[in-house]
Chains A and B, each alone.
Chain A
Amino acid sequence: MTAPLLEVRGVDTYYGPVQALRQVSLHVDRGEIVTLIGANGAGKTTLLMTVFGSPRATVGEVYYRGEDITRVPTHQIATRGIAQVPEGRHIFPAMTVEENIVMGTIPIGQAHLDADRQAMFELFPRLKERRNQRAGTLSGGEQQMLAIARALMGRPELILLDEPSLGLAPLIVKRIFEVLKEVAQSGKTIFLVEQNANHALRLADRGYVMVNGEIRLEGSGAELLSNPEVREAYLGGH
């Protein structure tokens, strides 16, 4: 059996004295779409940031392609083939759309810049229209697309997405989930953190449910969707 692409083993993470993650273990295999759902403050974002070593896990390990990356400096994680689309998008507001896209190439250099940028403009035509505009002037949905494009520019094998649907109109959320499906079909592995459990579980192969910093449930997307506990807590009970 081959090792999973990403494996988190027994991780505890603290913010100062506050424990945010308790003995979290999960894994993401190559080519999968895995989702992590949970309420606000459950520790989902902390888990993604722990993969990037900021904050670092106090107990436990994070493995990527079978290598222990728990203590690798944050800025070297991207070079290993992991990209993150963080909560709140975190585009560089004073840079142009194009410069934001170029920022994504740091892990691999600019050898594929022209072709990849062209591909991103085909995936998100809106970004092409606004390529010379300051990214801070984009709408929320456009910023989200820019953050996804930026992550893809580094040709990562694994993409971590933190609540890409947060605060966006339903039509745009639909479009973003379509894009994620296309990205997955192109051979990328996706680990998706969401509060929008309905969309996320429909897209995902497998899912985990996090409560108060612990993994409470796991199963296939369909299993979790039909689980009464999940329906009650995250899908509005109907």
Chain B
Amino acid sequence: MDWHILGQQIINGLTLGSIYGLIAIGYTMVYGIIGMINFAHGDVYMVSAYLMAITLAVIHFFGIDSVFFALLLTLAVTMALTGLYGWSIERVAYRPLRGSTRLAPLISAIGISLLLQNYVQISQGARVQGIPTLIEGTIRFGSGEDFVQIKYVQVLILVASLACMAGLSWLIGGTNLGRQCRAVQQDRKMAAILGVNTDRIISLVFVIGAVMAAVAGVLVTLNYGSFDFYVGFVTGIKAFTAAVLGGIGSLPGAMLGGLILGLLESLFSGFVNTDYKDVFSFAVLVGVLIFKPSGLLGRPEVEKV
């Protein structure tokens, strides 16, 4: 085994995995709080890539040259606008159906997913879009043929994801708002009796999920530079796999599941076959669902008496 290939794939895997983790947060938090999968979440991620490119173009138009400042502004605007998408999806596809059968919001979410894909396809075109490379440069370890390299943008992805996850863990674990989120998750009716505005908390969770997806969208676009209206589908399902792997409903589970799935996929690409990496990822999903449906950190669902 070549150590440098292993090292390189681990770096790539961690980068990819932290992206999966960021998107998985949206799936896992929404599932935790209302017990349903938001099937439009992958497309929220896709929309954020477009919002990012548009914001970047607008900023460029106004002649802001500092890359650092432009990126910061782009990130902030994209997070805000994508959060608005998350909020709207809950208002349109979930809230009116609260109290109806579990299947209804599932279908309305798939409807939103199709709506977003087609809306973006019509308004932005079906072609692959791109942005110029903004962050160049790599750090290289080793010499000659055998080296391991990490791009600056990959460093940014790792640091930003870590910061998001740390910030979110603090928000959920250590603040009054986070405590209210957990209360709604554990016992929505009791939370309302104690004075928690449960509708607002559920909205907040959709917004948090969308904002995390926006961070992922901005980072991935910075790294790859290209995207189309369909990128949300496969990435969304991968992130969903990560959430299931870590234990759906568990926040640390989403992060852990993301990292593990990213590593597995990257190592499989590096040592076995690149073409079948998606097949491998979904085989992991099938395996988890068969052998450990509650995931790595999830608790088995206990029927409440």
Contacts and interface: CB of A to CB of B under 8 A. Distances in A.
Interface of A: 52, 54, 73-79, 84, 86, 88, 90, 92-95, 99, 102-104, 106-107, 110, 150, 154
Contact of B179 (A78, A79, A84, A102): A102
B194 A54 contact: no
Contacts of B183: 92, 95, 103
Nearest to B200: A75
Contacts of A52: 192-193
Contacts, number: 60
Contacts of B91: none
A162 B197 CA distance: 23
A75 B190 contact: no
B193 A86 contact: yes
B3 to A, nearest CB: 43
Contacts of B176: 102, 110
Interface string B14-31: 000000000000000000
Contact of B187 (A54, A76, A92, A99): A92
A95 B194 contact: no
Contact of B194 (A73, A93, A94, A104): A104
Contact of A95 (B186, B192, B195): B186
B179 A103 contact: yes
Interface string B182-212: 1100110111111111100000000000000
A104 B194 CA distance: 6
Interface residues of B, number: 18
Contacts of A54: 189, 192-193
A74 B192 CA distance: 6
A86 B192 CA distance: 12
Given A75-B198, A154-B195, A86 B190 contact: yes
Contact of A93 (B180, B186, B195, B305): B186
Given A54-B189, A92-B187, A92-B190, A106 B182 contact: no
Most buried by A among B192, B195, B305: B195
A73 B197 CA distance: 9
A79 B193 CA distance: 10
Contacts of B189: 54, 90
Contacts of B179: 95, 99, 102-103
Nearest to A108: B195
